[in-house]
Amino acid sequence: QVQLVESGGGLVQAGGSLRLSCAASGRTFSVYAMGWFRQAPGKEREFVAAVTRIGVMKNDADFVKGRFTISRDNAKNTVYLQMNSLKPEDTAVYYCAADGQRFGPQMGAYWGQGTQVTVSS
């Protein structure tokens, strides 16, 4: 079992930046791939980015390219999502996920409670 707690969401103007954090506790953090997903009102949850336990990233969604960066610090049991040049369409609840076997959009053995990101125009 691993517990995930997201933080860092909030209200930001278009063009601004936020850094989301996801702190993990429980089983050894370093054995899990970590990912970020988001869900906007009325839409399905979508994959944002993921990073393997050794730092290999998957962040090739069109809306991510050049704007969002995922990273992890195994010493701090934390994964981050740096979001720059935010747009109103980035408004969503952002969820952290951990998975010991799957990587990418299919991952999701464990989930955090989510953190709200609201981008105003």
Say yes or no to pLDDT of 58 above 90: no
Mean pLDDT across 50-74: 91
Greater confidence (29 vs 71) lies with 71
- Dump pLDDT digits (tens) for 3-46: 999 999 999 999 999 999 999 988 777 789 999 999 999 999 99
* Whole-number average pLDDT of the chain: 94
Q: What is the mean pLDDT of residues 79-86?
A: 97
CA distances to 34, 84, 92, 120, 121 from 55, in Å:
10, 20, 25, 32, 34
- The encoded tokens of residue 50 equal 């993921």
Residue 106 has pLDDT above 90, yes or no: yes
- pLDDT exceeding 70 applies to what percent of the chain? 100
Q: Burial letters for 22-44: b for 16+ Cβ neighbours within 10 Å, e otherwise?
A: bbbeeeebeebbbbbbbeeeeee
Confidence category of residue 120, pLDDT binned at 50, 70, 90: very high
Contacts of 41 (CB under 8 A, 6+ apart): 92
Nearest to 79 by CA among 15, 6, 28, 10: 6
pLDDT at 57 over 90: no
- Which tokens is 57 given? 């990233």
